Amino acid sequence: MWRRRLGALLLRSPPSSSSTAASSCQHHRRHLLPSEEPLALNRLARLFTSQAVSDGGNSQKPFIAFVLGGPGSGKGTQCTKIASDFGFAHLSAGDLLRHEIASGSEKGELILDIIKEGRIVPSEITVELIRKAMETSNANKVLIDGFPRCEENRIAFERTVGREPDIVVFFDCPEDEMVKRLLGRNQGRVDDNIETIKKRLEVFESLNIPVVDYYSSRGKVHKINAMGTADEIFEAVRKLFSSLSDWGRLAVEKEKWRAGTGTATQRNPTDLLIAEALEFLDGKRVQSPDCE
């Protein structure tokens, strides 16, 4: 039985319902470059797991996922679900900016004017809000929702925080669907009107898609088709994060095994299981007679 379960786990391909941007992109095909290097899944998964089991959230180096997509593509909705099922802190750049407006600060007035016009707030303001929120949350896994919106955002983040994200999740949604969702959002937002929405869509195409292309060329983008119900979309999202978590556990076992717990003569069923995982992770096909 354990063998059958292991076989099923091992033979499952790496994230399947999402895809790296190199594969078909229904709504933004023309923008996305093929990945220059494949996503280093083992390394990524190991990092995901080691952060997930780190000691009480004191890690200095959280696992960072940027969550991108056009306005109304469902970033916020999906982030809430990921945070609740996978233990991420959810930092929404837009929410941080709106809190700053609500605080009545001088900066808040400038931010309000920019948001009303659908433009992008200066990077130093947004990056500083995100940096503080990361520090305060002290989380070991962080979703940064709606950021970076432009190359300037991206460069400012990487300079200030000193690193790139571990993955980028991109919600791919057709424009007419985004407009429909935004007009129905009904949260009293100053920017959910048709005039500002048009401007936001232009800004998305001209400034945000280049950021997706950049991370795509770095092999970091997982594209999710954002059409369907929120629950259907979350099934694809769940598979992506579950794969990272499953593969991460196997990678940890591999390291333990390599550290010397199993020799050929001492193998018990657990050692065999780990040996199979080892072979698979090393890129060899596992002979698993209990599975098809």
Ligand X SMILES: Nc1ncnc2c1ncn2[C@@H]1O[C@H](COP(=O)(O)OP(=O)(O)O)[C@@H](O)[C@H]1O
Residue numbers belonging to the annotated binding site for ATP: 72-77, 185, 228
From start to end of 62-216, where are the E strands? 63-69, 89-92, 141-145, 167-172
Residues of each annotated binding site for a ribonucleoside 5'-phosphate: 98, 119-121, 146-149, 189, 200
Phi-psi region of 138 (alpha: psi -120 to 50; beta: other; left: phi over 0): left
Q: Which residues bind ligand CDP (CB under 6 A)?
A: 71-72, 75-76, 93-94, 97, 114-115, 118-121, 126, 146-147, 149, 153, 191, 200
Among residues 7, 76, 219, 248, the one that binds Mg ion under rule CB under 5 A: 76
181 binds, among ligand CDP, Mg ion, ligand X, none (CB under 5 to 8 A by kind): ligand X
Q: Does the CA dihedral 204-81-234-253 come out positive or negative?
A: positive
Give least dist CB 31 to ligand X, A: 18
Give least dist CB 131 to Mg ion, A: 20
261 within 8 A of 63, measured Cβ to Cβ: no
Q: Pick the closest to residue 51 from 274, 234, 244, 267 (CA basis).
A: 244
Q: How far apart are CA 168 and CA 158, in angstroms?
A: 14
Give least dist CB 179 to ligand CDP, A: 11
Closest CB to Mg ion among residues 90, 154: 90
Neighbouring C-beta atoms of residue 195, cutoff 10 Å? 11
User: What residues contact residue 117 under an 8 Å CB cut-off, 6+ apart?
Assistant: 196, 199
Q: Which residues bind ligand X (CB under 6 A)?
A: 69, 71-77, 181, 184-185, 228-230, 233
115 binds, among Mg ion, ligand X, ligand CDP, none (CB under 5 to 8 A by kind): ligand CDP
Residue type, 151: E
172 binds, among ligand CDP, Mg ion, ligand X, none (CB under 5 to 8 A by kind): none
